[in-house]
Structure formats: C-alpha cells, structure tokens
Amino acid sequence: MSSGEDDGDDMDDGEDIDRLQNTEWCQCDNCNNMDTVAESVCCREIPAVTRTMEEDGVHSCIIDHPGFRSGCLDIWVLRIAYDGYRQHYGHLQQEGNE
C-alpha cells in the first residue's frame, strides 16, 4: 500500500471511536491517547491480563506487576522473543517497507 492510502484500519469499530483523543475508558489510570481504536485498550479490559494481575496481588495496572519490567521492557528479552517469532512466522512487515 502506498503512503497516503487509507485501508480503514484507523476507524476500527465505529462504536468505539469515542476512545480516540481521550482516556476516559481507562480503568488503571496509566493509559495514554493512542492513534487507533485498536490500540486504545486498558490492561484491565483484557481478561487474561486481569487474571494474572489478580493472581499476583496487583490491583491497579499491569505495569505494577513484578514481571512487567523484566518481561516486557528488557531489550534482551524482547530480542529473544522477536527471534523466536521470526523463526516461527518469518520477518514482520513494517508499513511502508513492503
């Protein structure tokens, strides 16, 4: 797809368009404004994440989970995860680099 073409992804679900330009939908008080509706999701809205938080005694936000920093923000962990993904699925296609 050439730059400037609209594939409709930024509109996502029409009923959730009100999530853009605000964080009123945020339940953890740590969410930021995102560019798309698909990205505008609070950690407290994802059942598997909420279950993990509750199992480990975290009641506010996933960023407060003891494993978050080492599992999600460590560059070496991310590189290993990406290498595993790439071996299984191939390279990620970045928009504009197709």
For 11-50, the pLDDT digits (tens) are 444 568 889 999 999 999 999 999 999 999 999 999 999 9
The burial class, CB within 10 Å (0-12 / 13-18 / 19+), for 58 is buried
Number of H helices, E strands in the chain: 3, 0
User: What are residue 92's phi and psi, to 5 degrees?
Assistant: -75, 140
Mean pLDDT of 79-93: 87
DSSP H or E segment with residue 30: none
Q: Half-sphere exposure (CA, 13 Å, Cβ side) for 56?
A: 16
pLDDT in tens, 63-81: 999 999 999 999 999 999 9
Cα–Cα distance, 65 to 26 (Å, whole number): 17
